[in-house]
């Protein structure tokens, strides 16, 4: 039986604390299928500028955290924080994809990673219909969704030009990377759980030892999910600088 938990109204009502002109005037293609598993179809939403761009836009793929309940009525594509992020990215002249995946338990990470790989592959088939550029992607993970970045950090496809992690669980061993590590942006919430921040700090130190291109944006008084919970200038600064990071790494011709 599908049902929503008591926290769902807050999730659907949440919005990021940063706005730019044009966020209400973007195009959203909802409930696009990217795979079917056991007769259930898995869906994504695509956000793009309302006016067509000269070239197909690069894409930021938003990766929700978890584990989440498997029987939700309202999936993450309908949560307000991701919808407002999709609007922000599209209003900034890029494309955004938000998708539902199967991170329903700690051991289900392998299923969620498979979903992410299948989504990336499917975007190529949608390139003409949706007018997007599947060769220029950013993976942007939140909270527990950071573990989905692990295999992509160890072996990074050429299409992935950068990665972003917000208050994320990061457990990748970067010394196992067989090729390149793309530019990274890490946003850290100073008031987050000590165990989460300790692991995140260890990850940053690994990246520095590998001389990786990494930007670390610390929110000293930020809570977990600060982009929706902390209405202050530091939150807006981090979101603004993240959009600049996306533009720089996704639109560069080099």
Domains of the chain: 8-250 (3.40.50.1820)
CA 44 to chain CA mean position, Å:
13
Phi, psi of 188 (to 5 degrees): -115, 135
| pLDDT tops 90 at residue 177 | no
Question: Does residue 161 sit in helix, strand or coil?
Answer: strand
Which residue has better confidence, 252 or 5?
5
Residue whose C-alpha is closest to residue 101's, from 149, 46, 63? 63
| pLDDT tops 90 at residue 61 | yes
User: What does the pLDDT average to over 245-249?
Assistant: 97
pLDDT at residue 179, as a whole number: 65
**The overall pTM is greater than 0.85:** yes
Mean pLDDT of the residues in the chain: 95
In order of 129, 136, 175, 219, 242, the CA distances from 87 in angstroms are 20, 19, 36, 23, 14
Which single residue is written with the structure tokens 């390139």?
A: 127
| pLDDT tops 90 at residue 217 | yes
| pLDDT tops 70 at residue 178 | no
> CA–CA separation, 63 vs 246, rounded Å?
15
Residue 225 gets the label, from left (phi > 0), alpha (psi -120 to 50) or beta, of: left
Strand 40-49 relative to strand 184-189: parallel, antiparallel, unpaired? unpaired
| pLDDT tops 80 at residue 60 | yes
Q: Are the beta carbons of 101 and 64 closer than 8 angstroms?
A: yes
Q: What does the radius of gyration of the chain's CA atoms come to, in whole angstroms?
A: 17
Residue 172 pLDDT level (bands cut at 50, 70, 90): low
Residue 174 pLDDT level (bands cut at 50, 70, 90): confident
Q: Are the beta carbons of 17 and 84 closer than 8 angstroms?
A: no
DSSP lists the bridge partners of residue 111 as none
> CA–CA separation, 222 vs 207, rounded Å?
23
pLDDT at residue 24, as a whole number: 95
| pLDDT tops 90 at residue 1 | no
DSSP assignment string, 47-78: EEESSPPSSPPPEEEEE--S---TT-SS-GGG
Q: Are the beta carbons of 34 and 44 closer than 8 angstroms?
A: yes
> CA–CA separation, 63 vs 140, rounded Å?
6
User: What does the pLDDT average to over 64-75?
Assistant: 95
User: What does the pLDDT average to over 43-48?
Assistant: 98
User: What does the pLDDT average to over 223-231?
Assistant: 98
In the chain, what's the furthest Cα-to-Cα distance? 50
């Amino acid at each position: 039986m599908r049902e929503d938990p008591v926290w769902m109204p807050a999730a659907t009502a949440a919005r990021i604390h940063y706005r730019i002109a044009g966020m209400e005037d973007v195009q959203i293609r909802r409930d696009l299928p990217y795979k079917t598993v056991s007769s259930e179809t898995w869906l994504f939403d695509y956000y793009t500028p309302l006016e067509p761009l000269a070239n197909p836009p690069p894409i930021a793929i938003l990766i929700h955290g978890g584990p989440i309940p498997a029987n939700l009525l309202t999936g993450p594509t309908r949560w307000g924080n991701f919808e407002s992020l999709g609007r922000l990215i599209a209003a900034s002249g890029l494309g955004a994809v938000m998708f539902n995946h199967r991170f329903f338990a700690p051991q289900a990470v392998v299923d969620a990673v498979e979903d992410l790989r299948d989504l990336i592959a499917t975007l190529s088939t949608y390139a003409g219909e949706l007018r997007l550029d599947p060769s220029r992607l950013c993976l942007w993970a939140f909270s527990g969704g950071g573990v989905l970045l692990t295999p992509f950090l160890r072996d990074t496809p050429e299409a992935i030009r950068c990665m972003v992690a917000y208050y994320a669980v990061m457990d990748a061993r970067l010394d196992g990377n067989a090729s390149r590590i793309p530019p990274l942006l890490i946003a850290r919430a100073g008031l987050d759980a000590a165990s989460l921040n300790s692991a995140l700090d260890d990850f940053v130190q690994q990246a520095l030892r590998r001389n990786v291109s990494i930007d670390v944006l610390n929110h000293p008084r930020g809570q977990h999910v600060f982009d929706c919970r902390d209405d202050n200038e530091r939150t807006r600064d981090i979101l603004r600088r993240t959009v600049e990071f996306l533009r720089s790494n996704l639109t560069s011709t080099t």
